[in-house]
């Protein structure tokens, strides 16, 4: 079942923060975050596994609340390069399980 | 991270012809690869799961006779769009996860193949 992402779109000025949410009605094993720029393939950002954890690098971090089956991606002090569409992909088990992607969140960072 | 390549990156063909797209894991082995399709401004939709040495598993609504998948080795999966029609025009992307024990759960995407059927 497709996870639900919110918001659908967001416009930020450079330096502002944003939060993108991804929720599922089914129990999840992992949540994967990707960023896709126009005309390109998705680029892996990070993966969170069940057990409830938080990860981050540079100014992008994410959390996974296993009880709520919800993950959030945090973008702080946004840069123009952060613009793109962010997708969460979810897997209900480990191993060679395909990801089910949300509809995406279009992020535009303006100067 | 691991690298997945796709070839060709872009292809234009006439209606009724067949097109083969290759997906290769360059620095790791993958017993399973996944094929996705993405229409403009939409999400990635799983088409099929490609299994090395066995038949692919297709998602509901995806015609297995139209989208032929072959996973002949641990580093190569191919998707052949047979008798392509304009409605098959799309962005086709493959992904793979390292098979080796201890490999993480990350799925790496290829750069995608943009197909335009005239």
pLDDT digits (tens, 9 = 90+) for B90-115: 999 999 987 665 556 788 899 999 99
Pure H helices in B22-114:
none
Q: Which residue of B has its CA nearest to A96?
A: B32
- A33: pLDDT strictly greater than 90: yes
B108 vs A105 pLDDT, higher one: A105
Q: Which residues of B touch A49 (CB under 8 A)?
A: 105
Tell whether B44 is within 8 A of chain A (Cβ): yes
Least confident interval from A14-23, A49-58, A63-72, B102-111: A49-58
Given this model, what pLDDT does residue B99 score? 65
A14 three-class SS: coil
Mean pLDDT of A71-76: 95
- B9: pLDDT strictly greater than 80: yes
With cut-offs at 50, 70 and 90, classify the pLDDT of residue A95: confident
CA B70 to chain centre: 10
**Is the bond into A51 cis (omega within 30 degrees of 0)?**
no
Burial class (CB in 10 A: 0-12, 13-18, 19+), B51: middle
Given this model, what pLDDT does residue A79 score? 94
With cut-offs at 50, 70 and 90, classify the pLDDT of residue A71: very high
**Contact yes or no for A103 and B31 at CB 8 A:** no
- A105: pLDDT strictly greater than 60: yes
Given this model, what pLDDT does residue A3 score? 96
How far separated are the first and last CA of chain A, in Å rounded? 37
How far is the C-alpha of A44 from the C-alpha of B107, rounded, in Å?
8
**Contact yes or no for B1 and A98 at CB 8 A:** no
**Contact yes or no for A99 and B46 at CB 8 A:** yes
pLDDT per position as a tens digit, B32-75: 999 999 999 999 999 999 988 888 999 999 999 999 999 989 99
Tell whether B102 is within 8 A of chain A (Cβ): no
């Amino acid at each position: 079942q497709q996870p639900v992402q919110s918001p659908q779109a967001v416009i930020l000025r450079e330096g502002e923060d944003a939060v993108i949410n991804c929720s599922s009605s089914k129990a999840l094993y992992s949540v994967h975050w990707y960023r896709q720029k126009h005309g390109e393939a998705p680029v892996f950002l990070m993966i969170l596994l069940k057990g409830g954890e938080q990860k981050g690098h540079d100014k992008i971090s994410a959390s996974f609340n296993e009880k709520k089956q919800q993950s959030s991606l945090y973008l702080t002090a946004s840069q123009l390069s952060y613009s793109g569409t962010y997708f969460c992909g979810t897997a209900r088990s480990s191993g060679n399980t395909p990801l089910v992607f949300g509809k995406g969140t279009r992020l535009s960072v303006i100067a | 991270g691991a690298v997945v390549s796709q070839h060709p990156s872009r292809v234009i063909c006439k209606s009724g012809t067949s097109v083969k797209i290759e997906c290769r894991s360059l620095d790791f082995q993958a017993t399973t690869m996944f094929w996705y399709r993405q229409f403009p401004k939409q999400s990635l939709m799983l088409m099929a799961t490609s299994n090395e040495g066995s038949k692919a598993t297709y998602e509901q609504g995806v015609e297995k006779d139209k989208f032929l998948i072959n996973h002949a080795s641990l580093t190569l999966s191919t998707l052949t769009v047979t008798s392509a029609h304009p409605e098959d025009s799309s962005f086709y992307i493959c992904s793979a996860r390292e098979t080796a024990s201890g490999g993480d759960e990350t799925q790496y995407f290829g750069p995608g193949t943009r197909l335009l059927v005239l």
